[in-house]
Amino acid sequence: QLRQEKPWAAIAALEQGGFSTAAIPPSLEDPGEKWHAIPGYLLLARALLLENRMAEAMQLVETLLPVIAASQDVNLLIEAHLLLAVLLDKRNNARHARESILKALGLAEPSGILSPFLNIGNPAYEFIRREVLSGGVKSDHGQKILAAFAGQTRKGRAVSLAEPGRPSGRERLTRQEAQILHFLAQGLSSTEVAGELVIAVSTARSYIKSIHRKLNAHSREEVIARGKQLGLI
């Protein structure tokens, strides 16, 4: 079953039309062991949302939330609360959706974090815009997020759900490279990346070299910083 597969394999199955059950992590009792897979599972939840598979996306996000909260990774926690807000809104649960978006905004505002909102794309934009304009959500940071979405549109960058994004003035990262960038941000070595993707270490290093070139970065730290700056992580 897909429940035993890594999130990227589940995403590939979803794209190929062979995805039949939500790929809930088989065990989240040891967050340290499973931590590197969390960004992939969030991306899977976004893909399920795009496919209108709300129940599966909701189950996945609710499973991940306590693990992410325990990790204290603010960016991932914002993304999880935001995904939950969008899913609750689509289920017409306005009160709990508003509570979740307020949690996401409350976490993001102190440091001015924008990338998790931009990563979700149109569903986040439409929900936040409606809530801000209606007065349901009163947040200066909400206004900044809407301005950031408008800036993306003016620059010609499509506001999408799961697309890796286009580094300014550089080539677009492939889906595989976007996956590897997330692994690098979680501290995985080239050998560990190869193990996750079931590819040769030399192939993993080749992908990493390509990411460095496309992001115009000369070190792993610079790659991660550049990825965060562009909203790719």
pLDDT tens for each residue of 148-203: 877 765 444 443 333 444 444 345 788 888 889 988 988 888 888 888 888 888 88
CA dihedral of 21, 25, 26, 28, whole degrees rounded to 10: -150
- The C-alpha atoms of residue 123 and residue 129 are separated, in whole angstroms, by 10
User: Of 24-28, 33-37, 187-191, 215-219, which range is least confident?
Assistant: 24-28
- Given a cut of 70, whether residue 19 has pLDDT beyond it is no
DSSP-assigned letters across all residues of 66-124: HHHHHHT-HHHHHHHHHHHHHHHHHTT-HHHHHHHHHHHHHHHGGGT--HHHHHH-HHH
Contact by Cβ (8 Å): 23, 57: no
| Mean pLDDT rounded to a whole number for the chain | 76
Mean pLDDT on 26-45: 62
Burial 35-47 (b: 16+ CB within 10 A, else e): bbbbbbbbbbbbb
pTM of the predicted model over 0.85: no
The phi and psi torsions of 116 (rounded to 5 degrees) equal -60, -35
pLDDT tens for each residue of 61-119: 998 888 888 877 898 899 999 999 999 999 999 899 999 999 999 999 998 988 888 87
The domain locations on the chain are 2-154, 175-229
CATH number (1.10.600.10, 2.40.180.10, 3.80.30.20, 1.10.10.10) of 175-229 reads: 1.10.10.10
pLDDT at 152: 60
| Number of CB atoms found within 10 A of residue 32's CB | 7
Contact by Cβ (8 Å): 233, 181: yes
Tokens found for residue 139: 């947040």
pLDDT at 168: 43
DSSP-assigned letters across all residues of 140-168: HHHHHHHHHHHHHHHTT----SS-----T
CATH number (2.40.128, 1.25.40, 1.10.3470, 1.10.10) of 2-154 reads: 1.25.40
